[in-house]
Amino acid sequence: MSGPLQSRPDGDDWVDDLLRADAREHRDGYLDDDGFTARVMAALPAPATLPAWRKPALAALWAGAGIGIALALPGTVVDVAHEILRVILGQRVSLASIGTGLLVVGASAWTAAALALRRND
């Protein structure tokens, strides 16, 4: 047999064996609650749902915060942009690397928008 943290060749896991043994041991210990659990679950209120406008409002709030910071600290924004451009322009750039960069930025933006605006039904 393999070590305790390794799967066996037949695909069965040691955790599965422990769970099956525990189920066999406690199978007869079940107490019939005469439908009490089902009644309690049926009486629970529906889970609270968030309003549909919440995620777009949060996205707008973060965008506004970013624009506000940029407007409040124009010197810092210009300095950061200058340093980024200095680093980028100091590198040899090919059309393929520009395309790859645009693809990465586009995929990141699309993914962030999809996560922020998805519905949790």
Please state, in angstroms and rounded to a whole number, the distance separating the CA atoms of residues 117 and 53. 9
Higher-pLDDT residue of 10, 119: 119
| The token pair that represents 89 in the structure block | 């322009």
- Return the pLDDT at 73: 85
- Per-residue pLDDT reduced to its tens digit, 20-72: 888 888 777 777 788 898 899 999 998 888 888 999 999 999 999 989 988 88
Q: Is 5 helix (H, G, I), strand (E, B) or coil?
A: coil
User: In terms of pTM, does the model score above 0.95?
Assistant: no
- Return the pLDDT at 1: 45
Please state, in angstroms and rounded to a whole number, the distance separating the CA atoms of residues 13 and 3. 11
103 — pLDDT class (breaks 50, 70, 90): very high
